[in-house]
Structures are given as C-alpha cells and as structure tokens.
Structure 1
Amino acid sequence: MNQTAKTGVSRCPIDHSAFSNNKPLSANGCPVSAGAAAFDPFSNDYQQSPPDYVRWAREEEPVFYSPKLGYWIVTRYDDVKAVFRDNKTFSPSIALEKITPNSDEANAVLASYDYGMSRTLVNEDEPAHMARRRLLIEPFTPEALKQHEPLVRKLARQYVDKFINDGKADLVNQMLWEAPLVVGLHFLGVPEEDMDLLRQYSIAHTVNTWGRPGPEEQIKVAHAVGNFWQLSGKILEKMRQNPEGGGWMQYGIRLQKDHPEVITDSYLHSMMMAGIVAGHETTAHGTANAIKILLQHPDAWREICEDPALIPNAVEECLRHNGSIAAWRRLATCDTRIGEVDIPAGAKLLMVSSSANHDDRKFEEAGTFDIRRENASEQLTFGYGSHQCMGKNLARMELQIFLEEFTRRLPHMKLSEQTFSYLPNTSFRGPEHLLVEWDPAQNPERTNPGILDLHAPLRLGEPSASAISRPVVVEQAILVTDDTLKLRLVSPDGKPLPRWTPGAHIDIECGDTGISRQYSLCSDPADTGHLEIAILKDPESRGGSAWIHDNIKQGDRIQIRGPRNHFRMDPDVKKMILVAGGIGITPISAMAREAKLRGIDYEIHYSGRSRSSMALLEELSALHGDRLKVYARDEGNRNDFATLLAKPDPDTQIYACGPTRMLDGLQQCCETWPEDALRMEHFHSVLGALDPSKENAFEVELKDSGLTLTVAADQTLLQALQGANIDVQSDCCEGLCGSCEVNVVQGEVDHRDVVLTRSEKELNNKMMSCCSRSVAGKKLVLAL
C-alpha cells in the first residue's frame, strides 16, 4: 500500500478496474502480476544478481508495484535515468529513509543517544541541495583529487605487501574493506580511528537504512548507529579546533564562516557520519566486485595484466556489469508517469540502477562482460544529474590503482572455491568475503623487482575511447601500389574480431611514438575473422602513415582501437552515388560491397593520379564491373561533378571520401540537392582549432546537473565540463569522431565539427563539445 503526499491516506496504487477477475492477487489483495507479487529485494536471488533477478521485469513489466515492499520498482535504463534527471517530480528525500521502519523500542534507543541525522547532499531537495553542492564540490574535481594519488598508491602497496608471500588471502578482510576506509578518512580529514569499530558502525548503518533487521537486531543496530552518531560528533568537534586541515570536512568548516545558513551545524554533523560510510563502503564493495568479475573472466584479467591502459575502461565495465550500488530511491511529488505507467503522488520508487545497467536497449549484449565496451561509462552506478555521486572520481582513482597493483604483482591470482554471500539490503552490494590464491614462487617481483616502480598514468574522470585498445597480429602486409600498404589483421587467439558496418574505421597506435591514426576498413563487414585497411604513405602527413610503412611487417603484434563508425551508410536508401578520391576509396569499397549485397542501385566514381596508383582497383573492377567509373588524371579523364549531380534526386544519397578540395567541390554541386543527400568522410579538420585571441567566453547551463559554467576563451566546452566533474566521452578532440556529442536545449551553436549533417546543424539540438562553441559568446543550455 502507498501513502499519498497530500493527505497521508493509505490507498492501493493499482487500478483494479484494469484487471480481469482471474488476475492473481498479492498478499494484500492487489491484482498484480506474479513477478511483482513475488519481488523481494532481501532474497538471496536478488543479492546474488539484482539484474538477473528482475530480467523478467525489464522485458515484460519495466515499472511495477511491489506489495511486499510498498514501492514502485523501475528497471529500464531510460526510465531510471529520467527519474534521476527530474528531482522536482521525483524527490530524493527518501533516499536515506529506513526502508524497514524501526520499532518503538529501537527508536527509544536512538533517542537515548540524541540521534538527530538530518538532510545531507544525498537526500535533500532544492534549493538547499544545489546551494551546498556548489560550495562543496571543488575538492572532488579531477584536478583537486590528484593530490590524493600518492597516498592511494602507498596504501595499495602496503596492504598487498602484507600477504604477497602467503599464497592466499581474503581480499575483503585483509585489504578491500580497510584500505578504502583509510582513503575515505584521509579525504574527509578525519584522524584514523578504530578501523574494526568503524566497520561495525558502517555495517549497522547499512542494515539500519537499507536492510530488513528483525526486532532483536533492530535494538542491536540502534545502539551501534547511536554510538556512530556520537563518535561523529566528537570527531567533528576535534576538527573544529584545527579548521585549517586539508580534509573535505575542514573545507566545509571554513566555508561555514561565510555561509552559515548553507553549511549548518546539523548538516556538518550528519555529513560527518554519512561521509564516513559513503567515503569507503561503495569503493570497498566496488573493488571486491571488480576483482571477482575479472577473475571470473580470465581472458579479461589476462588482458589488463598485459595492458594496464585498459584498466580505466575495465573499471567502467565493472561498475556497469557488477557495481556496488544496486538500487536507489525517490518519492513522487505529484501524479506522473514513468514509461507507460501512471504513478500517483506520494509513491515511493526503487530504481534498480543495476538492472538499468543491464538493459539491452542501451548496452548491446548487456549481459556480456566486455572491458572494451565503448559506452560502459554511461552506467548509472553513480546516479545521474544534480545528485550524481560527487565522489565518483575518487572511487575511480582507487579502483584503478588497486587493480593496477594486483595485476602487476599478482597476475597469476585466481579465485578460490567458495560460495559468495552478501549483506541483505536493497542498495549496497559486495561480497562479504573474497577468497583468492596464487603460487608465491611465481610472483613477478621475485625475478623483476623493477616492476614495483612501474605504474600506468592515472585517468581521472570520464575514460576516453582512445584508451580502449586491443592487440591484433599482422597476418599480411603487402604493397598494393607503390605507396599504398594493405594490412590484414587477425586476433592473436583466433577469436572473432568485433563486427562493424560500412564506413567504420579503426585507430592504429604507432608504437611508442604517442601517435595514433584512423584508417577506414575496406574488407568484408560480414567476415569477423579479419580486418583490412590500406594506408597511403603521404609525405605531407603528420607521421602516422610513414611510421606504419617503415615499421609494420607481417607477424607483428600491434594495438588498435575500434571499429567505430561516424560515416554510416543508410541501408534503406534506394540509390547510392559513391565518390572516392585516392585512398578515400577504402570506406567507399565497403559501402559498394554492402550495396551489392542488399540489391541497392549504386555506382562508384573513383578518381586518382593514375590507375597504377589507385588502391583496390583490380578487386573493385572484378566485383562491380560497369558500375565502377575510373577517372585517371594521367589519362586526361576527370570526374565532372557538375554533370554527374546536375539533376537532384530525392531517392539518391551521395557518399564521398577523399581530399578536402574534392569534398568542397562536391558540396558546391549538391547545394540544390535535398538536405543531407551528401554524406562525407573527412581525412582531417581544422575547423575546431582554438585561437583564444579570436574567441568569446560563454556561459553554459547544465539543466540536469543544476550547474552554470563559464567556458573561457582559451578553453573548449569539453575541457570546462570535465574540469567541473561532468562526465563527457571524448576521443579525437578535432570534431572528427562524434564521441563528445552533447544535447543542446537552448541557444545557438557555432558548429565547427565535420560529423553533423547540414540538417542536424540547423536543428541546433546537439553539438560536439571538443570544438564547437556558442554564437557570439551567448549562453547555451545543455541536457547534462
């Protein structure tokens, strides 16, 4: 049953008239589905895997009422994100409410300790929430967090030192609970207290808030919570005596002098207690979950051991697939709808964010654990919007460093035989024990002590797609023209490579040069056994093609990223004109192959210096016959775009790739064609080059996060967003790849990318944050 917000009257939230008489009844008489009636977040099945437990709901009943819990359950990604986004309709005020009401006896125990937990950043409404968040967020920004890296690395080393030669460990008991607590206390500025006592208090706080304790346990928990409250007050008073300390709580104490109406005494006391829990519990659980899932996938574990650069994205995938926050709560402040379901005012919501993270509508093959998943960082484990976890980047730091320490020093570690148990509650999830084993004789540092001095660069904030690489072997490297090298790439283990669509490219990392370059795929998209690219040795290039020609040979093992595609072919188009200049034939060749397979009417127009210089010409001719038109400059044969495109056709699309001069000419000849009939792939772009002397600073309002930022004249929007702790993906930073796209709610954009089509730019509802700006320095409003 549910309580309405206005009257407090108990009423059933289900419309009985919508059901037939034979609808199964729940225990309280509501006609709900069998799955909804049986839903129990305290069951072992939920604790073991919340996403699997509610899979039926994601597929059949994404929003349902649970009579046992008295909450509406939300399970799909888009719905959960929409609730997080709207903090007016869906109040966070019940986020820390006891999901199992205390008995009178337990309340009396809490009162005896003068327990008075008030609102914190987690569960307060506007305008109080953003006023505090704006004041207190600076220590959580990536730049400010860098100062904590040495401590986290030191702790990781010290804790692993304690058991490195034992050959076995319970990682939760021996490291993963205590080490994050030390980091959390250090960040807060709290002197290290009795760790075992704080662990007991933290567990009690979790059970008290999100668990289902019985009558006797409620009394025990109430005493622990009461003692925790009093200890928090004593620590706070001690810190007030030295407000110049470096911790976040001292930062708040100093701010209180100028903002006493925002940073109140009751707030500081409550945040002290909540911060001790939040500062370590989610990271402790998150690290244990991450190591568990990685060791359960030996190939993934081996890959991050061999290539630590994969760790940042592996962390995001661990948070998505097996995160430490299973669910969160909101209160409906008015009658509303979620998806297709009417929600009454006063309804309590349990958003199962772990289920949202397994929604196939958002994440392809969501049940698969993939450390190279390019949108893994869009997981909702940290929440979303103005209440997104402020400590997300501190958690990312710890997870990355802990995983690096384990992969470097214990790459041969494996899970011991065990049954995993979890503390029964709705929201916080991690194994109570994590038993691992290894052969100490194989510890790498015994034969190579120098590995202890190695560590990968730390990436704070949103991981970049440019860090998600995979090894491939060069099965074939042949010159197909005097200056064009064709590479055939295969997986080292013989497994299939990722699927791709025509127009896609991969990035090749050029050894230790720090250079990476994009090359379009020109093989058969249906064949996942190999990838093929062709690279022109360009004397005016930025060094990538020359390095590949001079260094890569058959049998080499290289790193690639992708495939990714921002030059997509419309599979439903009726007719295609495919135009290529020089090495621009590579994506065009894949499109032509796909057009032939689909029975699309198509023609290819391929221009080059000479037939001998034109890559893939022989195989294109054999495959496409008369549909291929060749324009060799040395034969005096040039493509006449004006004639070719003289008559606009609404059923025809033009796809082109080649030199800038060719693309500019095509664009002029397509002015009278329907919008977006012409689709182009660019080799490079200078439109987004930033010249601070010619730029205007501008304001950007983040509608979902409740923040307003200033983008300086010498700063990109992307840099401003990431500096303010806002997650935005990025890769090329040249307006070429489309990964940093953000949605525009209001304002006029100065588009400087080569990704968006003409009509997309005119719609003005999205922009590339790495290069585009506002027009004349005017304010933009973004859906972030």
Structure 2
Amino acid sequence: MSAESCPIDHSGPATAACPVSARAEAFDPFGEAYQSDPPASLRWSRDEEPVFYSPRLGYWVVTRYDDVKAVFRDNILFSPSIALEKITPVCPEATEMLARYDYGMDRTLVNEDEPAHMPRRRALLDPFTPAQLAHHEPMVRRLTREYVDAFIDAGKADLVDEMFWEVTLTVALHFLGVPEEDMATLRKYSIAHTVNTWGRPSREEQVEVAEAVGKFWQFAGTVVEKIRRDPSGPGWMPYSIRLQREMPDVITDSYLHSIMMAGIVAAHETTANAAANAMKVLLENRSVWEEICADPGLISNAVEECLRHNGSVAAWRRLVTADTEIGGVPIPKGAKLLIVNSSANHDERHFDQPDELDIRRENAGDHVTFGYGSHQCMGKNLARMELQIFLEELTKRLPHLELVADQKITYLPNTSFRGPEHLWVQWDPAANPERANPELLRTTRPVRIGEPSKRSITRTVVVESVTRAATGVVRVRLADPAGRPLPRWSPGAHIDLELGELSRQYSLCGDPAEKSVYEIAVLREPESRGGSRYVHEELAPGQVLTMRGPRNHFRLDSSAGKYLFVAGGIGITPIIAMADHVRAAGKDYEIHYCGRDRDSMALLDRLIRDHGDRLTVHAAGEGRRLDVDRLLAVPVDGTQIYACGPERLLSALDSAGQGWPEDSLRVEHFVTTGNGLDPAKEHAFEVELADSGLTLQVPADQTVLGVLRAAGIDISSDCEEGLCGSCEAPVLTGEIDHRDHVLTKSERAAQSRMMTCCSRALCGRLTLGL
C-alpha cells in the first residue's frame, strides 16, 4: 500500500498501521468473482468488514443491509450526485468525441441533489402511479405474446436476445411516448450509455462508446423536439412537455433532453437484466420453477424474491458531504461510496437463509434492489408488471423449458448493472401444452402493480387427518404434499387457510418441534360465515388446501418470571402451545381454561395429561365459572398474562387488570370490531413521508394504506383489519388514533408506530418513516 492510495493520513507516528486489510486491497468489482456473484464475493465483508476502503477503486464499500439502507435514507449527507459519474476516467480522445456531438447530459432524477430533486420528482410522478401504469398492461401482454409466438415451436431460444431485451426496450419507448418511427434508431444506442458510465472500457473502446453515446444524445434531442411539436399523445415525455408550460423553472429544456436519454436506459436495461436473472435462478432451482408453473398465484412474490436474490442493480454510488460514520467506521467528507445493495439483499442479519431462493419469504419486499427513500426507482412497478407477465406467459406455455447445459454465462463488466448477456433455454415443442389445450392462450391472471400483498404468499398443504377433539370441535393435521418439512413456527403463531371461497385464520396448537405436520382445532360456530361449516362438513383426508403463514403477532415473552394463561373455548389453541413451551423451559405458570362443559372443551385430555398440576378448569355447567376480578385482584410483578377467547372474556380481563403493571395483559383477537370508514365521522389529514420526501392527502373515506399504495409506496399488508400487524409503519411525529388489535398499551402510548390499514391521525398531520 502506498500512502497516496490510502485514505488515512500516514504523516503521523511511524507506528500507525495502515487500516486497509488484505481483502479490501484485493477487492476488484470488475473481477470474475464480483461479476459472477456480487453478494457471494462480499460475504467476507458482511461478516468481518462491512465498511471498507478499496484502493483499487478509490471508493468506500458498504455491504450490510442496515448500513446500505441508512445511506439511501439520507440523500443530503450522502449525495447522489456521483451516481452517473463515469467510474473509469475518460481519455481525452473520448472527451473530444463527446464534444463533437455537443454532449451535455444534465442532472436527472437519479443524480440531482436537493432542493432541485423533490419538486421535479413530485411533478413527474403521476405516470408512475399504479393507476396510470395499469393502462400499459395490455401492451406489455401483447408484446410478450408476440415474441413467445415467434420461438414457441423452435425448441431452443436465447431469452435475452429473442425476448427480454426487445420487449423491455419497446415497453420503455412506448412508456416514454417515443414515436414508432424513431424506436429502431434509439434501440441501437441504449447499451453504449451503460458501458460509458459504469463499465471499464479500454482506451480504444472508450472512443467507440463515446461516439455511440454522442449519437444517442443528439438523436434523443431530435425526438424531444418532435414530441414538443405535438405533445398531446400518451407517454411520460409528452406529459412532461405539457407540464413544462405550467412549471418552466422545474421542467427545463435541458432537463427534458437528459431524462429522454436516461429514461430509456433506466426503463430498458435494468428490466431486461432483471428478467434474465429471474429466469436463470428459477430454472437453476427446478422445484421452485415447477411450483410456480403449478400455482401461478405465486408469481407476484416469486418476482419479489428474484429481485432480492438476484436483482439487476448490484450497486449504487454516493458522495459523502460531511465527516460522518457508517456502521461505526469514520468516513471523511468528500469520500465516494459504492453501496452494494445486492450484498445488502443477502445479509443474514435481515433475511433468514438469504442465499436460498424462497418464493414464500414474507420480507422479500424489504429488498433494496430499487433503492430506498426519495431516490427510490420511480419505474419499479412497471418493472414488476413486466416480470410478472413474462413469468405468467413462460410458465403457462413452456413449463418444460430448461437451461441449455454447459453454456457459459457472461456479464457485461460494470459495477452496478448486471444480467446475463445471453440465456439459452431449450424444450420439446411436441410437449407444448397449448397443442393439446388451445384454450390455454385465452387465460390471463391479474397483475399486481406494486409490492405483493402477503396474502399472495401461499403454499400447498394436504389434509392428513380430521378427528374429533371435543363436542363441536375437530382437530386437523396438515402436511406438505411431498413430505418436505414445513416452516418453523413459534407459540402463538397462526396460519391462514383458503376454504372454498373463504380465507380463515387458525392458531397452531401442535408441537413446534414436529417439522412435518401442522395441527389446528376448529370449532363449529352456529353463526358461521362458512369457514367452520366447511371444515366440519367438507374437509376430508387427502384434500389439498392453500395456506399462508405461519405468522405470529401473539408472541410469548421469554423474559417473564411467571405466566398466567387464560383461555375461553377454542381460544385454548394458541395458549396450549405457549404452555408447552413454558413447561419445557422450566418456568412457573398456571392455566385457567373456561368452557361450557368439559365435553365441549377442546384439547382438555392433553392439557390434563401434560399440565394437570398447573391447570384449573372452569366449566360453567359444573358451576365453576372463572372469577376474573378475584384472579387478578393482586398484581404480581414479573408475571405476564396471555389470554385468548371471546371478546367478553378479554374485556373482563382488561378491566380487572387495570392495577397491574402496564402491558402485563396480552391478548389474541380473531375478529375486529371495526366497521369500516364512515366519511361523515372521519376527518382528512396529511401524511408526510420523511424518507421518500412526499406529502400525501388522506381523505376521510380512505385508509393510509390505500393512499400509500396509490402513490406507489411499497408497504406490506395482509388482513387489512388491524389484526395482523403486517402494514405497520414507523411514526416520527403526530398523534395517532390507534384502531388496531396488535399494539400494546405502552406501544400505543409511545406514538411511534401505527397500522396503516385502520389507524388514523388525531391531528391534521403525521410524519411517517417511509
């Protein structure tokens, strides 16, 4: 190491050691390891040195999830101004070539600082909202169908050259509103921009690339002027030109020229690469590919997991504007950062078993492939739409395709965008499903525009047995059809089952250590809306069901000194799993089980067998009703109360426990008392999104969740009734009108988070950490 290439001042004491490790010195983002698999090549960094200086690159490299997201979140301290800076110094000949074409690429949404950025972003956002993107779906479907038609009977194809590259570019040009007659010319120039900015071309290649970029720039200006003469048509450029009349200081002529060129690259290459990456990883994981072929309902979440596991944007760049720290490492003002979001997407501190492709991963949408905050990719939902339609068409028409063996997968060397240059697949045309079933081509599935709801994360289970558990109660055992282990779960967890046209939640009551089977108990409800009736009258061994979960919003606090479990009726199901866990841990506990009579109390035999010395049965038919006031008359420090049952029991416990320490009582609700929004009783308010830089209006008849989705903000959801906690958002300022059944009293009092599906503002404005 020479002192000149090291960021640390070596003019001090001679004993000062150079802080650049051998691995940091050897890091080469243009080397084979990084180009083939960026996350794997940086595993050492995530484990040992998550922020390091690369003398070869002249950048600080950031690799862990929390650190990467923190950098994305603060676009003032970490300026995006170098995001499009050429990572390889340009030779004089290439600079001269660009000057011949009057190349003058200005700041765009990708690399401009505040205060210029957010006014432009807000002004230009509308064409990217889900409602507006929906208009492009028929065009994407038509193009995809036409390109697959062209090779469906060939038996072999390069999906990059023959589909992904062409369809995504055509979609990008249509989205921008480029006239049809100019599309062919713009196609020729798009790749040169990527090599010019993120690649490492030789001196001779730089001149060649610069000429292509110069022509691209010049022709892009010609197209802008053509659109300007008649900006009445559809597309982002006509929209921007119309908007310029109202906001000439925000939407300038030079800005229009620049976003015309940058928009083609942003909308085209990243999506084409993402599609190729997704197909490659799915076909390499054959069982996963076969799952989505069998169940197209998994496609939306498969897209999200592929974006996480093998996204097309490997890294971004930022400039540090003041002395700071990242992950505890001092970073000086003026330092350049390579923030490797592909590495962050494989950080085991945030994603369980991150190197596995798990299309049912509930937090797949946490990936930072699209960036985060005020500079998050505006076109993310257009890309999601295209990927879903590609997978729908290929899984439906070519479920039997496979990768051509022994092909060498190559990548265009650059730090930031990655995808196979070619991806050869093969299949037997005689086995094409549409030959036997032409009706197949008439079926389509709805596209989800935005991050997938957790309701779309499903798996198939088979009913192993249905047996009597008590009068009016059956015990159902569920297993994986192929005998594979089911996901791990913890006491208090529940699953969602699709029962005919209905979806119902049931707590798991078996043994969490039994990996091959889930067990639930279902009460026959006299006023059933159909779920319990279906289970009791139609469910039979061998039947295949769709399941979501498990999820747990009724978690057991392992730090309590003693546990008081109270169950009413079928509410025993989450409680028995908790009691089993506490007993195994050797903790002090007692169980109070309430029911009409012993014959109707599910799982009573097992409770007596396993917890008899800790169990008190309160059977009303025996005159042994639970005296809630007496039970909770004397608060006991260090004791946690867990209760599940009818609302009247939970309300009685809440009233009787007022003298206990805050949050001693934790309850599980299975129904909500909310009746939806009554605009006559609600008020409108604003939500400011601190990380995204947007301010949104929440009308009296809409939820915060609905408004966030309409603005293209990624946020998960599931029950949308305030029961599950999936749609939680951090609240930075403002008073919350909590209407959920998830947060405890102290959590509500903290005013630091809310469930966006139901809770609202008590005041006129909330600031969310989104």
Place the TM-score, normalised by the shorter chain, in its bin. over 0.9
> Residue 500 of structure 1 corresponds to which residue in structure 2?
489
1:222 and 2:225 matched: no
Contact 1:688 1:734 in 2 (8 A): no
Superposed displacement of residue 572, structure 1: 2.5
> Residue 8 of structure 2 corresponds to which residue in structure 1?
14
> Residue 141 of structure 1 corresponds to which residue in structure 2?
129
> Residue 27 of structure 1 corresponds to which residue in structure 2?
none
1:645 and 2:636 matched: no
1:488 and 2:474 matched: no
The partner residue of 1:462 within 447, 451, 468 is: 451
Contact 2:686 2:766 in 1 (8 A): yes
SS in 2 for 1:179: helix
* Whole-angstrom distance in 2 between the partners of 1:573 and 1:14: 49
* Whole-angstrom distance in 1 between the partners of 2:430 and 2:556: 55
> Residue 59 of structure 1 corresponds to which residue in structure 2?
47
* Whole-angstrom distance in 2 between the partners of 1:411 and 1:454: 15
SS in 2 for 1:263: coil
The partner residue of 1:518 within 471, 486, 505 is: 505
The partner residue of 1:316 within 300, 304, 322 is: 304
* Whole-angstrom distance in 1 between the partners of 2:15 and 2:478: 62
Which segment is superposed worse, 481-490 or 112-121?
Answer: 481-490
* Whole-angstrom distance in 1 between the partners of 2:556 and 2:509: 14
After superposition, give the CA deviation of every residue in 1:240-283 in whole Å (9 maximum; x if it has no partner).
Answer: 12100101000000001111110000000000000111111111
> Residue 734 of structure 2 corresponds to which residue in structure 1?
747
After superposition, give the CA deviation of every residue in 1:295-345 in whole Å (9 maximum; x if it has no partner).
Answer: 011111011111111111110000000000000011011111111111111
Superposed displacement of residue 375, structure 1: 0.4
SS in 1 for 2:245: helix
> Residue 738 of structure 1 corresponds to which residue in structure 2?
725
1:234 and 2:222 matched: yes
1:81 and 2:69 matched: yes
After superposition, give the CA deviation of every residue in 1:412-461 in whole Å (9 maximum; x if it has no partner).
Answer: 11111111100000000000000101111111000011111111111111
Contact 1:400 1:458 in 2 (8 A): yes
Equivalences for residues 567-586 of structure 1 within 5 A: 567-586=554-573
The partner residue of 2:753 within 751, 756, 766 is: 766
SS in 2 for 1:186: helix
Contact 2:5 2:55 in 1 (8 A): no
The partner residue of 2:646 within 640, 643, 659 is: 659
Contact 1:508 1:559 in 2 (8 A): yes
Superposed displacement of residue 481, structure 1: 2.0
Q: Give the RMSD, CA atoms, in angstroms.
A: 1.6
1:622 and 2:622 matched: no
With normalisation by structure 1, the TM-score equals 0.96
* Whole-angstrom distance in 1 between the partners of 2:305 and 2:14: 43
Contact 1:688 1:771 in 2 (8 A): no
Superposed displacement of residue 485, structure 1: 1.6
C-alpha distance 772-706 of structure 1, shift in aligned 2 (>3 A): same
Contact 2:575 2:644 in 1 (8 A): yes
C-alpha distance 614-321 of structure 1, shift in aligned 2 (>3 A): same
**Which structure 1 residue ranges, 5 or more long, are not aligned?**
4-9, 24-29
1:244 and 2:232 matched: yes
| Number of residue pairs matched by the alignment | 769
* Whole-angstrom distance in 2 between the partners of 1:664 and 1:579: 13
* Whole-angstrom distance in 2 between the partners of 1:537 and 1:610: 15
1:426 and 2:415 matched: yes
Contact 2:304 2:451 in 1 (8 A): no
C-alpha distance 20-617 of structure 1, shift in aligned 2 (>3 A): farther
* Whole-angstrom distance in 1 between the partners of 2:69 and 2:296: 31
> Residue 378 of structure 1 corresponds to which residue in structure 2?
366
What code does the residue aligned with 2:492 have? G
After superposition, give the CA deviation of every residue in 1:157-177 in whole Å (9 maximum; x if it has no partner).
Answer: 100000111111000010010
SS in 2 for 1:653: strand
What code does the residue aligned with 2:75 have? N
What code does the residue aligned with 1:258 have? E
1:592 and 2:586 matched: no
What code does the residue aligned with 2:245 have? K
1:410 and 2:398 matched: yes
Superposed displacement of residue 688, structure 1: 6.6
Contact 1:182 1:192 in 2 (8 A): no
Superposed displacement of residue 192, structure 1: 3.6
1:780 and 2:769 matched: no
Superposed displacement of residue 575, structure 1: 0.8
> Residue 85 of structure 2 corresponds to which residue in structure 1?
97
* Whole-angstrom distance in 1 between the partners of 2:11 and 2:613: 66
* Whole-angstrom distance in 2 between the partners of 1:491 and 1:71: 48
* Whole-angstrom distance in 1 between the partners of 2:377 and 2:278: 19
1:291 and 2:279 matched: yes
Contact 2:410 2:421 in 1 (8 A): yes
Superposed displacement of residue 687, structure 1: 3.5
Equivalences for residues 257-406 of structure 1 within 5 A: 257-406=245-394
Superposed displacement of residue 386, structure 1: 0.5
1:205 and 2:193 matched: yes
Contact 2:83 2:317 in 1 (8 A): yes
Superposed displacement of residue 12, structure 1: 4.4
* Whole-angstrom distance in 2 between the partners of 1:533 and 1:15: 64
What code does the residue aligned with 1:782 have? L
Superposed displacement of residue 712, structure 1: 0.3
Identity within the alignment, %: 64
1:606 and 2:593 matched: yes
After superposition, give the CA deviation of every residue in 1:646-704 in whole Å (9 maximum; x if it has no partner).
Answer: 11112110000000000000001111111111110012112473211100100111111
